[in-house]
Amino acid sequence: MGDLQPTAAPPTEGLEGTAGFRCSVAARARGDQMVGTAPEARRWLLVEQDAHWGRTTWEGLEVEAALAVEMQEHLESVNGRLQLIRRPGARPDRTLATRRWCLVDVDWDRPVLWGTATTDAELLEAARLLGGPCPPEAVRPGSPGIVLVCTHGRKDVCCAIHGRPVASSLAALWPEETWETTHTGGDRFAANVILLPDGAVYGGTDPGTAVADLSAHTDGRVDPTRLRGRCGEPQHVQVAQAVALQELGPLPWGAMSTRREEAGAERWSVDLAVASGSSDAPPRHLRVTGRFVTTEPHQLTCRAVALKPSTHAVAEVVEEIEGELA
């Protein structure tokens, strides 16, 4: 489990304004832990918008202010997240008259629904479907599903520097599935790639490793080396799942299910059932236990104006349990 441990380092980097500071370079030098840092959103609203991305996703959304407030309140109430999307390389200085949108809801039997909106009200109406019954038009896409690459340079320059080449590389192989997107969290782990509806997040990628990670994911042999975790899960569950992939892999993404998880202020425990490669064989059961570790303060983004610590779930003990989990 050595690759899953964070490393401590003194806060030697400066604040915003330090010449040439890049948060992703600093994070790699420190050996910051990526696993356990995937967004905890379970539902997603993707809105096509080629231009005018703001400093934040909500600042950039071109929707009438009152309707944007309603949209944000609804997404927050259903653990949803907004992402602006555009095709790699698209930078037209215009607002699309008809915008594509996509809803992703992992609680739906068919978790993806695409549509179009010509008015802000239609976009709000679509957003309100999240958290409700599965619409009859929703689908279950084939692998790799929707591929989002953060290229949000106005949020953090590292995302543009590292994200755009990755988006271009992935689009060359998966042109219909690949989109550039706004801030996904974890700027210092750029380039960040999210696969929906699987919810897999890979970080620290470059054009070559991103293709390798996506190829392995679609082939059912997930490589946890650059895995940040599964969206919608707390960080200790994300870490436990990465441990299972590391200990028992290569495995397909859907091989793991969480049977029990507990977390206190200092320690945590997760029980997992891991499907075997044979349909006749019973699943294997793992119990992963660990602790929470808080790092020294660091500059975590390129634009940060203060040093901040980060808290990670660290796996310590992995044991296989015979028989069925309680």
| pLDDT tens readout for residues 285-317 | 999 999 999 999 999 999 898 999 999 999 999
List all residues 6 or more positions away from 312 whose beta carbon is below 8 Å from its beta carbon.
6, 33, 36, 235, 239, 292, 293, 294, 295
CA-closest candidate to residue 166, choices 194, 199, 200 = 194
pTM of the predicted model, to two decimals? 0.91
The whole-number pLDDT of residue 5 equals: 42
The answer to whether 300 and 309 have CB atoms below 8 angstroms apart is no
Place 282 in a pLDDT band, splitting at 50, 70 and 90.
confident
Predicted confidence (pLDDT) per residue in 187-227, tens digit: 999 999 999 999 999 999 999 999 999 999 999 999 999 99
List all residues 6 or more positions away from 187 whose beta carbon is below 8 Å from its beta carbon.
23, 24, 155, 156, 158, 159, 300, 301, 302
Least confident of 134-148, 159-173, 230-244, 271-285: 271-285
Q: Is 267 exposed, middle or buried (0-12, 13-18, 19+ CB in 10 A)?
A: middle
List all residues 6 or more positions away from 42 whose beta carbon is below 8 Å from its beta carbon.
78, 79, 80, 105, 106, 107, 231, 232
The whole-number pLDDT of residue 273 equals: 95
Go through 93-112 and write b for each residue having 16 or more CB atoms within 10 A of its CB, e for each that does not. eeebeebebbbbbbebeebb
Predicted confidence (pLDDT) per residue in 160-173, tens digit: 999 999 999 999 99
